[in-house]
Structure 1
Amino acid sequence: MFARLFALPSTLFICLLLLLPMASAQAVGLPSLLGSSSKTQPEATEPLGQSLDEVIKSLENDQQRTKLLADLKKLRDATKKAQPPVEEGVLGLIGGTLSTLEKQFSGADSPITRWSDEFDLAKEEFSSLMLPASEWLPIIFGFAVVLMLWSLLAAALIWLSHRLRMRFGLTEELPQHPRTWDLVRFALRKLGPWLIALVITVYMSYALPPSLGKYLAMVLAYALVVGTCFSAVCVIAFSLLDGPHRHRALYILRHQAFRPLWLIGSFAAFGEALNDPRLVASLGIHLAHATATVANVLAALFTGLFILRFRRPIAHLIRNQPLSRRLTRRALSDTIEILGTFWYLPALVLVGISLFATFVSAGDTSTALRQALICTVLLVVCMVINGLVRRHSLKPQRGAKRHALYSERLKSFCYTLVHLAIWLAFIELGLRVWGMSLIRFTEGEGHDVSVKLFSLAGTLIFAWLIWILSDTAVHHALTRSRKGLANARAQTMMPLIRNVLFVAIFIIALIVALANMGMNVTPLLAGAGVIGLAIGFGAQSLVADLITGLFIIIEDSLAIDDYVDVGGHLGTVEGLTIRTVRLRDIDGIVHTIPFSEIKSIKNYSREFGYAIFRVAVPYNMEIDEAIKLMRDVGQKIRNDPLQRRNIWSPLEIQGVESFESGSAILRARFKTAPIKQWEVSRAFNLLLKRHMDEAGLDLATPRMSVQVITPAGGTEKD
């Protein structure tokens, strides 16, 4: 570029400009200094004359003069770029912004002036369309024939669809829980007759001569059909949000929102169709643009009215989430709650910004309002497609599969990727509406950045897939015993193994992602190794807790919901971490015990238990009668509907265990379900006491022999 800037003509011209003051200075100063002008004057004027001759020749040639002018402009631009930018403070920036706004909104370039000129020119073009009545008749005739033909065809098709619906007993409105076929039938019923009639009318209108009336009728029919299509798609989008406690909001939107949405879509389509070249040539550029802008503004105003009128039903649809999501995803539910409460505020702001941009961009046929309306339509279509995909993903699978857990989670993963692809397509189309594109960015200046971002996204998706497969494998292995039922060990080990797997996969994915993005991960790995070694030496008690807890969990010594005696504390296991066990005793006190302090474990919850009975036989009751009474009580309690599931064996009489206070102690036991031995013992003792009361027997009491010595020397024994 610089070789072209300093080409011969431009160089001569610049040298001329530089030599002019020097030449005049020489002409004045040299004679006085040297005392002779006759010798120096020719030497100074001869090269100057040659330069002037060359410049005159360059200026006389049109091509050289144009090239010289272009080179001078490039030199000026290069000089401006070479100058350092002037730093402005905050006040300077505010002042510059206000000055720019003042220039933009005042003078001949202001939006008010431009709109006034636009409407004046449109008025002139409208006046030029005022033809004599004889010339208006073909226009009116073409307009009326096209509209009449379209209306009659649509009415005939509507009557035919009504007869078919009555013949097959189909409902006119959407049911409360519409299926996919119901939604398709609703769209066909609303749109089908008008669209088919429009297609037939377009083909039949070729028989009519070209006229402004025919074009206006076709544009009007097109706008009405697009409005019907837009309203039907929006109603289908609302219907896809069906769920518990949403029926009233859906009923309002289905029965009251169709006509406002039809107006919005019709005005937007009418404004877009007026940019057709044939209509622009017939109406005039300014009249077509002004009419299209008015139609777009009306569409925006009706959009604002629709937002204000239906803000509460739509907010109810957004806020009302399933119970499972509210319980498991509290942060997401709170965010959706806030979004549903104030959703209409950003929507109204968007409408206001579009109107303001339309006002500022007067004379621009590609206004921000049309772009915003197109983006809104794309958003609605994206929501409909996502709703259909979600509806398809929620369909139950038919038949039991061997690996149903894998297929369910992989199906959810695939549908999530489909949702992501749909949203990416919407973003790409929306950016193309505004003149931008992600694809062009990745192919151009952002190629390197896009490659790194794609590698990062691919790493995260692959890590997510590995996490799903490994987590499902662990869940499948731990939650299925020989009988196919979940056990307590799975509840104990599942959180620990899942956390370890998640941390490991996350760290590996992070290192791979950083390496793909060009970062040197060797110092990170070395630093992680040094930190791990330091932690191992400095936190020996923590390491001891981890190792001991790992062996306790692997050996299955205790699990969640077990009733154990650990470290002198008796209670139910409520939680296990990689370092501690948490117990809750019978008084409700929670004890947190490190694994390294556990020396022995007494577990009362494994496989089975024994309910032990020690019954003191009254002294006036035979042993055999007492044994028979205990057997009867044991048989009755085994037949008790509340206790028979807890008792796993007949009453086992182990005989006389000992003697206490003159009474024989009979020992017996039941084999019971785990942790049910104390409940069975209490029920047996209660039933035994009732039987003894019915037989008139008292419980065994301690006996004492008293010997009284009388004064006569005799004794009496009691």
Structure 2
Amino acid sequence: MPAFLRCLALLLLIVVVPVQAAGLPGLLSSSTPAQPQATEPLSKSLDEVIKNLENDQQRTKLLADLKKLRDASKQTQPSVEQGVLGLIGGALHDFEQQFSGDASPFVRWSQELEQAKVELADLVVPVHQWPAILFGFAAVIAVWSLLAYAFNWIGHRVRIRFGLTEELPQHPRTWDLVRFALRKLGPWLVALIFTVYLSFALPPSLGKSLAMVLAYALVIGTCFSAICVIAFSLLDGPHRHRALHILRHQAFRPLWLIGSFAAFGEAMSDPRLTAALGTHLAHAIATVTNVLAALCTGLFILRFRRPIAHLIRNQPLSRRLTRRTLSDTIELLGSFWFVPALILVAISLFATFVSAGDTSTALRQSLMCTVLVVVCMVLNGLVRRHAAKPQNVHKRQAVYAERLKNFGYALAHLFIWLLFIELGLRVWGLSMISFAEGDGHDVSVRLMGLAGTLIAAWLVWILADTAVHHALIRSRRGLANARAQTMMPLIRNVLFVAIFIIALIVALANMGMNVTPLLAGAGVIGLAIGFGAQSLVADLITGLFIIIEDSLAIDDYVDVGGHLGTVEGLTIRTVRLRDIDGIVHTIPFSEIKSIKNYSREFGYAIFRVAIPHSMNIDQAITLIREVGQKLRSDPLMRRNIWSPLELQGVESFESGSAILRARFKTAPIKQWEVSRAFNLALKRQLDEAGLDLATPRLSVQVVTAGGGAMAEAGAGASS
């Protein structure tokens, strides 16, 4: 601290002396005498500096303090802002420095290999000690292999005894997947456990340790390949069978190599092996095996890129039709999935080369992320498989149970991916939880509030939408589908907008935004719209009551506003009709005064038959009943006729003919079809009987001068 004070005094002296010197001419030229108080601090500072400079030791210390102060001032100076070219140039300069001099990866790799050679030379033992080392290695491998072969033979006999297949079926169940994993992994794992206990009988040696590491790596490779095959099998679906067949029968060995190399490299970082082999030699072996694992991964990606692309791209038809954006994204991801995978492998190899022997990063972290991805895929596949299982639920609650089940499984998938992201970040030395507990606490709380609001809004939307759908479906048996098709889009849109607005306001409030001005502005805008668009409001209100009262629905045949046609569409403001000439009429709800609906519950096919004056009325009634009975027996018409022919008697007389009235109760909108079929059948029946329909007749009588009738002519004309 005294040295720093001396430096500070010297700096003050450097600053003060020029100022005083610059003011001397003014002081000398002024008539006012100089103040002695102003010269006293200067003289004291000069005396102190002179004393420090006269002493060699003090001068050396002062010089050292000045150098430290200079270095500190350079470090505290703000960095000058650089443009894009400057940043690129700085990055290239840093990259060049990293690959030049003693820090170059080539230099560090050469040093690493030289030290590994030295450690390998130190491990060379005399020839008479080689048999013990080789015996330990061979004994462990032989015991493990024989035990694994024995367990495999026993498993094969058991499968033959119970008629079990060795490969996975096309649609494997959960038990089939478990049995496949046990068949592939069980014998080797159990043999390794027995080998570990039996190896205690052998004396400790380097050969025994290497044999145990090799057996461990091979078992981990088998486990990894079995898990990958199970993960592929969980992605089974339409048009994926061929891709799954290829992966099940051809991908096991490449995956086994990848897992074995990675496990062997991981085992080389064990402290006991590092102490036995040497740090640099263990690191060199681990790096080589990790590089081999990365190269095998790249070859696997190139070899099986098409089957895996089929697994990703081929989605169910319902998802492709309803979620086109998601389907297009998955299609693009499936086509180019191997590009980022190969880039990741290349980055891992490059990072391994730059790290020069540091096997705790780069490849190990990448391989751990790969394992996490596989585990995540397995968990998601198990969740998806469990979601596809049918469940026995009460019919009334089936709709709610299905939607809530899908909601719960969606949250499960989200939780699995979040867990994967957290574990992946921990592999690379990061953590979302640590960030949330530290510097990002406020941001994390707000993001969690936003996520909670969105999930709650999603749940409310599911419950409300299901309740509306359930109520509309149960409202009326005959036209439940038409009613649901009519009202569902309208009510769903209103509910969705309302829930979305409320969720948006709550989310903004949770994010710390003041929503009071927003609500006030929305109220003012609503009032302005209400006063400025009264006809629109009238259409909305009238349409709302028409839809609630269920006066008409889509596919109804109605007479609205003087237009007769089929309802093709309904909005909250208009109704769209298409008449029998194919013309579309769009009618606002406010213009509708009355609605004639011809398609509700049932209809009546009404007949008015004129009986010829020459036909007996009872004979005519019998003929009409026979035609009605034949029409009810017709296989094409009997579904449309809901009652026997109801003969209502003589309605009136026209042109001397009796008019009989009859009717059928028919299905909705089928009354005109039944009427046309009845008229056709009646005409055929009359033709077969040699009878004619009654037509208006005119009788003319000519009277002579003598008063006698000369001629009589009768003429008939059709009406």
TM-score, with structure 1 as normaliser: 0.90
**What are the within-5 Å matches in structure 2 for residues 363-512 of structure 1?**
363-398=357-392, 400=394, 402-481=396-475, 486-512=480-506
Show the counterpart of 1:209. Answer: 203
**What are the within-5 Å matches in structure 2 for residues 275-674 of structure 1?**
275-398=269-392, 400=394, 402-481=396-475, 486-660=480-654, 663-674=657-668
Q: Provide the C-alpha distance between the structure 2 equivalents of 1:508 and 1:251, rounded to a whole number of angstroms.
A: 50
Aligned AA for 1:175?
A: P
Q: Is 1:87 matched with 2:81?
A: yes
Distance 1:399 1:157, change over 3 A: same
- What is the CA distance between 1:19 and its match in structure 2? 6.0
Q: Provide the C-alpha distance between the structure 1 equivalents of 2:450 and 2:440, rounded to a whole number of angstroms.
A: 15
1:670 is paired with a residue of what secondary structure?
strand
Q: Which segment is superposed worse, 377-386 or 95-104?
A: 95-104
Show the counterpart of 2:48. Answer: 47
Distance 1:456 1:501, change over 3 A: same
1:16–1:51 CA contact under 8 A, matched in 2: no
Aligned AA for 1:47?
A: E
- What is the CA distance between 1:110 and its match in structure 2? 2.4
- What is the CA distance between 1:402 and its match in structure 2? 4.1
Q: Provide the C-alpha distance between the structure 1 equivalents of 2:686 and 2:309, rounded to a whole number of angstroms.
A: 69
Aligned AA for 2:712?
A: K
Q: Is 1:188 matched with 2:182?
A: yes
1:12–1:55 CA contact under 8 A, matched in 2: no
- What is the CA distance between 1:137 and its match in structure 2? 2.5
Q: Is 1:221 matched with 2:222?
A: no
**What are the within-5 Å matches in structure 2 for residues 40-189 of structure 1?**
47-48=48-49, 51=52, 56=57, 76-77=71-72, 80-81=75-76, 83-189=77-183
Aligned AA for 1:533?
A: L
Q: Is 1:693 matched with 2:694?
A: no
**Alignment RMSD (CA, Å):** 3.1
Aligned AA for 1:314?
A: I
Aligned AA for 2:48?
A: P
Distance 1:285 1:588, change over 3 A: farther
- What is the CA distance between 1:302 and its match in structure 2? 1.3
Unmatched tracts of structure 2, length 5 or more: 29-40, 714-719
Q: Provide the C-alpha distance between the structure 1 equivalents of 2:42 and 2:678, rounded to a whole number of angstroms.
A: 141
Q: Which segment is superposed worse, 384-393 or 620-629?
A: 620-629
2:699 is paired with a residue of what secondary structure?
coil
Q: Provide the C-alpha distance between the structure 2 equivalents of 1:206 and 1:12, rounded to a whole number of angstroms.
A: 72
User: How many equivalent pairs are there?
Assistant: 694
Q: Provide the C-alpha distance between the structure 2 equivalents of 1:319 and 1:482, rounded to a whole number of angstroms.
A: 42
Show the counterpart of 1:716. Answer: 711
Aligned AA for 1:288?
A: A
1:267–1:299 CA contact under 8 A, matched in 2: yes
Identity %: 76
1:610–1:669 CA contact under 8 A, matched in 2: yes
2:605–2:666 CA contact under 8 A, matched in 1: yes
1:12–1:51 CA contact under 8 A, matched in 2: no
2:555–2:567 CA contact under 8 A, matched in 1: yes
Unmatched tracts of structure 1, length 5 or more: 1-6, 34-39
- What is the CA distance between 1:708 and its match in structure 2? 5.3
**Residues 259-304 of structure 1, C-alpha deviations (whole Å, 9 max, x = no match):** 1111111111111111111222222222222221221121111111
Q: Is 1:704 matched with 2:698?
A: yes
Aligned AA for 1:716?
A: A
1:319–1:340 CA contact under 8 A, matched in 2: yes
1:165 is paired with a residue of what secondary structure?
helix
1:403 is paired with a residue of what secondary structure?
helix
Show the counterpart of 1:37. Answer: none
TM-score, with structure 2 as normaliser: 0.90
Distance 1:58 1:172, change over 3 A: farther
Show the counterpart of 2:35. Answer: none
1:618–1:663 CA contact under 8 A, matched in 2: yes
**Residues 489-530 of structure 1, C-alpha deviations (whole Å, 9 max, x = no match):** 233222222221111111111111111111100001001100
Q: Provide the C-alpha distance between the structure 2 equivalents of 1:406 and 1:157, rounded to a whole number of angstroms.
A: 50
Aligned AA for 2:377?
A: M
Q: Provide the C-alpha distance between the structure 2 equivalents of 1:74 and 1:588, rounded to a whole number of angstroms.
A: 94
- What is the CA distance between 1:94 and its match in structure 2? 2.3
**Residues 375-428 of structure 1, C-alpha deviations (whole Å, 9 max, x = no match):** 011000000011001111111112535422222222221111111111111000
Q: 1:258 aligns with which of 252, 259, 264?
A: 252
Aligned AA for 1:377?
A: V
**Residues 630-659 of structure 1, C-alpha deviations (whole Å, 9 max, x = no match):** 111111212223322322222122333344
- What is the CA distance between 1:712 and its match in structure 2? 9.1
Aligned AA for 1:331?
A: T
2:358 is paired with a residue of what secondary structure?
coil
Aligned AA for 1:642?
A: L
1:704 is paired with a residue of what secondary structure?
strand
**Residues 679-713 of structure 1, C-alpha deviations (whole Å, 9 max, x = no match):** 21122112112212221223344433345577999
